[in-house]
Structure 1
């Protein structure tokens, strides 16, 4: 039979646009290769390569004239455990002198390929969590300092009839105003930076949902950081207003 190939959807789109690639011919050297199918997602072996999504599966031995060859077998997940023995038996039946080794699933190969990227993502995630904790602790300390500095003011408010809930709301509203202003400025800067990265390095644009989620997360973290000092401030008695602090 002639040479045939399955190609990835990105490769088909790059070569033929919106036109169907089925039945089209491409060439490997002087050998014509007929396209018989398209795979929606078919990544290559080199993660950082610019043509990572441009992949082809052909009906030939890629080992060429070499004695070392690799074969890919498509199977359902439940059949994979029994495949090693079945494949070995079939290959030995064809040639008893074969040396068959290194059975790996594509899932295993994919995990190995992305291991460095996964490690980097894990390290960055841990750093983000630590930075959030440090920020929350710093914010808590700053609010507690403000409470000590404004003890007389809080006591005076209580003496004039402010309820404990009013004092807590005062600090929470103050916190939310600062967070929303900072979040809006930071979100706008991230979108502008994302646009620059997209134009300069052809990177994908940062989805708007990420800055929105970040601002919401910031409000949650700062709420947890401020609520305890604010409750402590609400317990300051009106008598504190008359003391020298």
Structure 2
């Protein structure tokens, strides 16, 4: 049992090490874009530089289920597991299962691919096709059916429950939650929980920054109106 848990932990940490640059880059793009007044834009004609940063960061965050699924599967089954792992992450995104769905889908795809490589025998002429066609295709078919019809519903319900719990926290609880995540992140064994907390931690600080900006804007407007009223001039911001 201890050995199995160690293997799961190893695969999870391998995937997280590949995924963290995406989390950091996407989170910073969202933060910089929001600070510059950007927003998520789907129409290219309305795109600005700040909105480009924000939109790109959101697109990057949307890849998290695929990244975690693909690289968990890669850690388990090597290259034949990459494609089906990414596909399991796409299914998780489609079902709304999020990061948790991508993680479970990655383990499902990885162990299916590993089992096919060990137990499925093919003629000698087809051995070269195993890593690039047979294993990925069979794994994607089996894993996809499991995710769509067996695992997807329960995982989505768990993800929604976790999201509702986090979003239901008040501001002080979110602050405490963020500091706990940051403290636990110091050790490699706790990197797994940091991924879910990153987005909420960034969201918390964006709320603080926006509040400061609004207060500064209100103060500037008040000072300007007070100085301009005697001259008969009123500025509208």
Taking structure 2 as the reference length, the TM-score comes to 0.29
Q: Which has the higher strand share?
A: 1
Q: Which has the higher helix share?
A: 2
Taking structure 1 as the reference length, the TM-score comes to 0.29
Rg larger in structure: 1
